[in-house]
Structure 1
Amino acid sequence: MLPVIAIVGRPNVGKSTLFNSLTRTRNALVADVPGLTRDRQYGISQQGSRACLIVDTGGLTGEDEGLDGLVARQAWKAIEEADTVLLLVDGRAGLTVADEEIASQLRRTGKVLHLVINKGEHRDPHLLSAEFHTLGLDHLHVIAAAHNQGIETLMKKVLAHLPAATGENSEPTAPEATP
């Protein structure tokens, strides 16, 4: 079985763009519209000789009811399945209360967490790192998913914390996404 990496965060921080970059596909829909991704999307990422299962999720809004609540439940299922969680935040928008709340909830899971600051192509990475350091996550990365910047370095560091694929047949398989 392949190690699993879940990508989570607020709406419109670039989760689906990062998913497409990591899986080298266009399977996840990408648009400047909040709430486009509603269910878990699975794809295989091949990084050199290592493969892993990537899970794209809808944006976490803090709502427990309605469509936002259903989207959140799907995201939390992905987090439960994951060996590692990438908390994606928006470097252009800066640190938000929602980012702080999501990071706080994720820290309680005991999962390996990586803070990934996206949209960092026009900002000083040291300033971004300092701004988001208050979230208290050990592994911090600055990328620009839309421009494929920092992706290779990100994955090298993430893979260093992942278990190897297990089982006789480590062929990629994705669990069914169900509400």
Structure 2
Amino acid sequence: MPIPQVAIIGRANVGKSTLFNRIIKKRAAIVNNTPGVTRDRMFSRAEWSGKPFMVIDTGGIDLAAGNEIELQVKEQADIAVAGADYILFVGDGRQGMTPQDQEVIERLRSSGKPLYVLVNKVDDPKHESLIHDFMRMGVTETFAISAEHGSGVETVLDHLAGRFPEEGEA
């Protein structure tokens, strides 16, 4: 049985690569404040609660992509979603929900794959109210996290691993 594939999707600079590094427990993906640093998909094996899975980091999606590089990044993200069993959408809790976030979430929902909305950069419990805009999208699995500091990430991984098929299940 192949191991579950988990794609990390979202706009540029929302913390996708930071989350990827946290999940795989090493600094494999370059993290930078400059948009567009991650362009290709990056794959790494991870494990949580004794369950292995493949995690896929993607570049920041820009639905209004106009140049060739942005279009290629979007295409790579689309390929990651097509091959994924589970999708982690990462939004920026400090910026709040953007129209582009809404559109990306709707597209991801239409894939029919299990979707988790992770509101990142919620570094202090008093900022957890920032997730309410994202919760209005109606995705049951919506979590406040800090990929940089790790808060909330274990909860997400517990929920995610709990949905993985047991060994021997298809």
Match of 1:91 among 90, 93, 104: 93
Q: Structure 1: which 5+ residue stretches go unaligned?
A: 168-179
Shift of the 128–87 alpha-carbon distance from structure 1 to 2, 3 Å rule, reads same
- With 134-143 and 88-97 compared, the bigger mean Cα shift is at 134-143
Counterpart in the other structure of 1:7: 8
Asked if residue 149 in structure 1 is aligned to residue 151 in structure 2, the reply is: yes
Q: Matched residue of 1:11: which SS? A: coil
Matched pairs, number = 167
The answer on whether the counterparts of 2:7 and 2:81 sit within 8 Å (CA) in structure 1 is yes
Shift of the 125–160 alpha-carbon distance from structure 1 to 2, 3 Å rule, reads farther
The separation in 1 between residues aligned to 2:47 and 2:7, in whole angstroms, is: 15
Q: Structure 2: which 5+ residue stretches go unaligned?
A: none
The answer on whether the counterparts of 1:3 and 1:164 sit within 8 Å (CA) in structure 2 is no
Asked if residue 113 in structure 1 is aligned to residue 115 in structure 2, the reply is: yes
The separation in 2 between residues aligned to 1:46 and 1:82, in whole angstroms, is: 16
Counterpart in the other structure of 1:55: 56
The separation in 2 between residues aligned to 1:120 and 1:150, in whole angstroms, is: 9
Q: Which has the higher contact order (CA 8 A, sep 6+)?
A: 1
The separation in 2 between residues aligned to 1:145 and 1:76, in whole angstroms, is: 23
The separation in 1 between residues aligned to 2:149 and 2:89, in whole angstroms, is: 19
Alignment RMSD (CA, Å): 1.6
Shift of the 166–80 alpha-carbon distance from structure 1 to 2, 3 Å rule, reads farther
Taking structure 2 as the reference length, what is the TM-score of the superposition? 0.92
The answer on whether the counterparts of 2:3 and 2:52 sit within 8 Å (CA) in structure 1 is yes
The answer on whether the counterparts of 1:2 and 1:165 sit within 8 Å (CA) in structure 2 is no
The answer on whether the counterparts of 1:120 and 1:144 sit within 8 Å (CA) in structure 2 is yes
Q: CA shift at 1:45, angstroms?
A: 1.3
The separation in 1 between residues aligned to 2:21 and 2:100, in whole angstroms, is: 24
The separation in 1 between residues aligned to 2:25 and 2:128, in whole angstroms, is: 28
The answer on whether the counterparts of 2:49 and 2:158 sit within 8 Å (CA) in structure 1 is no
Counterpart in the other structure of 1:24: 25
Taking only the aligned residue pairs, the percentage that are identical comes to 35
The answer on whether the counterparts of 1:144 and 1:150 sit within 8 Å (CA) in structure 2 is yes
Taking structure 1 as the reference length, what is the TM-score of the superposition? 0.88
The answer on whether the counterparts of 1:37 and 1:57 sit within 8 Å (CA) in structure 2 is yes
The answer on whether the counterparts of 2:122 and 2:128 sit within 8 Å (CA) in structure 1 is no
The separation in 2 between residues aligned to 1:125 and 1:164, in whole angstroms, is: 36
